[in-house]
Amino acid sequence: MRIVATSDTHYPPFVKRFDTFMNPVWDPTHVPIPDGDVFVHAGDLLRMGYPNEWDPALEWLARLPHKHKYFIPGNHDFHLQVYPGPALQQMRQAGVTVIGLPGNDHYASVKLPNGMSMLGLPYVHTMGRWAFSCTKEELLAHLRKVWVANEHDIVVSHMPVWGFLDQTLQDVSTGSRIYRDFLNVKKPKVWICGHMHEGYGSVEFNGTRLYNVAMCNRDYKHVNPPMIIEV
């Protein structure tokens, strides 16, 4: 199965510019999205999280050709936190399944076409007023609920695992130590994240392949192509 994964687009990468009426001018060659069996977006679809960013983002997702499309929100995606009901309905209409949205317990994880289980974790901890921010204790309680009862082959978290693809330009790790503890114990086959724009890349640790698929760099320019993950 071929997963096409990206995150931190912060605005649709098909939008190259806007006309004089602030309508998006679509250009599918701006950042090509490869075809595949499954498309995964690991959060920060929006830039500021304002409602006027929502419609172009939905239009971009709806245009993608993948049969199975999944979205795990990030800390910029306020629209899903403030308007979860309408947002979920609009995502479904665009052909996208949202995974991990708090309160939507039936979609904490999903079964992929090849039978693998994929867990979605939008949470960032100790980030104040950002969307999906929680305390470390709250995150630990959630993980015990969704992971202890069920095993998962693939994890998609917006925040990286501490020590892997999570460093700032000053080489400071900013990932989650709680995720690191669960990685050490559960050993999923694949862990996909974003959030840290500087961390784009992949690494293997103890049988798990980790990917940071952030598309934007620190200047919010679309510079990193989506990653192809074969599972």
Per-residue pLDDT of 101-139, as tens digits, reads 998 988 999 999 999 999 999 999 877 889 999 999 999
Q: What is the pLDDT of residue 172?
A: 85
Residues present in the chain in total: 231
Task: Give strand pairing partners of 156.
Answer: 120, 192
Per-residue pLDDT of 28-72, as tens digits, reads 666 789 999 999 999 999 988 877 789 889 999 999 999 999 999
Q: What is the pLDDT of residue 25?
A: 67
C-alpha–C-alpha distance, residues 175 and 124, integer Å = 9
Q: What fold does the segment set 2-230 form as a domain?
A: Purple Acid Phosphatase; chain A, domain 2 (3.60.21)
Given pLDDT bands bounded at 50, 70 and 90, which one contains residue 86?
Answer: very high
Q: Please tell me what DSSP assigns to residue 47.
A: S
pTM over 0.85: yes
> Which of 100, 105, 140 is closest to 120 using CA atoms?
100
C-alpha–C-alpha distance, residues 138 and 6, integer Å = 26
Contact 226, 8 (CB under 8 A): no
Given pLDDT bands bounded at 50, 70 and 90, which one contains residue 24?
Answer: low
Q: Using CB atoms within 10 A of its CB, is residue 65 exposed (0-12), middle (13-18) or buried (19+)?
A: exposed
C-alpha–C-alpha distance, residues 56 and 74, integer Å = 17
Annotated domain spans of the chain: 2-230
